[in-house]
Amino acid sequence: MPPVEASWVISAALGSVVGLILALTGAGGAIVAVPLLIFGLHLSVPQAAPIALLAVGLSAGLGAVLGLREGRVRYKAAGLMALCGVVMSPFGIWAAHRVPNTPLTVLFAGVLAYVAVRMFRQARAVPLAESQPRRAAPPCHLDTTTAKLAWTLPCARALAASGLGAGFLSGLLGVGGGFVIVPALRRATDLPMQTIVATSLAVIALVSTGGVVASAIGGHVEWQIALPFAAGALTGMLVGRRFAKHLAGPALQQGFAAFATMVALGMIFRALI
């Protein structure tokens, strides 16, 4: 690892890259935080995971606050999913510190490749996907009279299951879990996409915070790297938001998907050699 002063500068620079990608590509862009820490500061996945979670949690929290101000966050659904995620996150942290780094890195690379492929497909098929009708009624139905979700046992079960999955992956790999939460909300509810994204950000912020707290209690957070990384991520996201309207779009998402795929292949190669 570089000297302390150099690691601060490198960490802040890497964080700003994560924040910029997050602002331009959406929540899925935060998944590159762990690979950047691995390649840039030569950390292992368990070392990088809580640092990435801190940056992801702060960035998602800012987006969630904006969503709350606009009335788009379904706080009951977000609360249930986050509660399940926070309960499950320590189990992921426990597993991360007992699984050897090589298989853990390969697993992360596989998740990154999956997110990249899904983002590439979504970027190519946005108009088609938005025009397709639902095949069946979702378990969480939006009541048009009250503008609230009609809670049922299947609805609560679907949301809780996605929260558990996101929480475990959050602790294990240091990912926010947006690639789990957003598809789960799309399948389980008939909420509009803007509401799904805002609710997902609220869940990511709460679950990530729980993961960071659990890691800090266990003494697994390297604060001399985590704090400048998080500060850089917030700065990069705020700067990126100013240009997002002009630069963001399907072409940029496809470019990020290609970049993420190359990073995933690089992680596998690095782990195996």
- pLDDT confidence band for 246 (50 / 70 / 90): low
Region 113-139 average pLDDT: 67
One-letter amino acid for residue 78 of the chain: A
What is the span of the domain harbouring residue 101?
4-272
Give the largest CA-CA distance in the chain. 60
The mean pLDDT value for 124-131 works out to 51
> Does residue 205 carry a pLDDT above 90?
no
Which range among 7-21, 23-37, 117-131, 206-220 shows the weakest confidence by mean pLDDT?
117-131
Q: 74: left (phi > 0), else alpha (psi -120 to 50), else beta?
A: beta
The region of weakest confidence among 44-58, 150-164, 235-249 is 235-249
Mean pLDDT, to the nearest integer, of 29-58? 86
| Pairwise CA distance, residues 146 & 131, whole Å | 25
Q: Quick: pLDDT tens for 132-188.
A: 555 567 888 877 776 678 788 988 999 999 999 989 988 888 877 777 888 888 888
First to last CA, the chain: 19
Q: How many domains does the chain have?
A: 1
Asked whether residue 128 carries a pLDDT value surpassing 60, the answer given is no
Contact between 17 and 36 (Cβ < 8 Å): yes
pTM of the model: 0.81
Helix (H, G, I), strand (E, B) or coil at 146: coil
State both tokens at 211: 């993961």
